[in-house]
Amino acid sequence: MATQKTIVLTGASSGIGAVAARELAKIGWDVAVVGRNPERTAAVATAVGGTPFLADYDRLQDVRDLANALLSKYKTIDVLANNAGGLVGRRGLTADGHERTFQHNHLAPFLLTALLTDRLSASNARVIGTASVANRFGSVRLDDLEWKRRPYLGGWRAYGTSKVETILFARELARRTSLTAYSFHPGSVRTAFGTDTTLGRFAMQLAAVTQISPEAGAAPLIQLASNPSIDAPNGTYFDGLQAGGATTAQGNDLRLAAALWDASAALVGLP
């Protein structure tokens, strides 16, 4: 009898995360359902027979507590899916003093992955990051990771930049560790994403005709988690199910990936 596989799935209380939790549970996976909202997280965990874990990415201490809880619960972790994050419409700071989009979409998953790396490595695990086609209008500046020197413009460029960082993190994780790492764009998914901003609501209305269902958007995440063999180099960015998705030039800059790793480690207090 095959050993049950375990996935830690952040952002699992709604959208493509909730769909992925459901579909992976159907094929026998043990799902650690990580979310911010207690009621929704518990509901998804109950529905899929998984375990709920709460973490608010506005607080890096929540990430550390989450890592400790996961390490206590699971002797092996086969997949870590860093799916949590989003767009913040107005620049603000987290409890840790970092720009919120940068912390939610990059620093928090970077820290969680680092804290789980030994356990993940013991299982030859995969790490999957939810990126976005929006990476193509992002611009990583190592001298302005916190968006102090550039106009915030409703958060969209900060969001796109954080998705370049997701792609770079997967590439550098693949280079520095024994882990397998991928990032992917789920497609323009019909969810509540971005609708807490005026521009976001307008953009979602324009895109409504071409938007895909959460089930379709979750398909790349499910495939990257469950397919025994991925026919693509370690560190690859996928556009949907297609390997080698288009990125900004920075998305392939391995020197930038290494420098971003070092800067991120310093910001979260890791060696």
Alpha helices (H) in the chain, listed in sequence order: 15-26, 38-48, 60-73, 100-102, 108-122, 156-176, 198-207, 214-226, 254-267
Specify the residue for token string 């356990």. Answer: 119
Distance CA 38, CA 14 (A): 12
| CB 213 within 8 Å of CB 189 | yes
Instruction: Name the residue among 41, 35, 29 with its Cα closest to residue 77.
Output: 29
Q: Which one from 57, 74, 152, 159 is the annotated catalytic residue? A: 159
Amino acid present at 247: T
- 99-169-72-75 Cα dihedral, nearest 10 degrees: 170
Q: Cα separation of 78 and 80, whole Å?
A: 7
The one-character DSSP state at 5 is P
- For residue 119, the SS3 value is helix
* Residue 182 annotated to the active site: no
Q: In what order do the strands lie in the sheet with 51-54?
A: 51-54, 30-35, 6-10, 79-82, 126-130, 180-185, 237-239, 242-243
Active site residues: 159
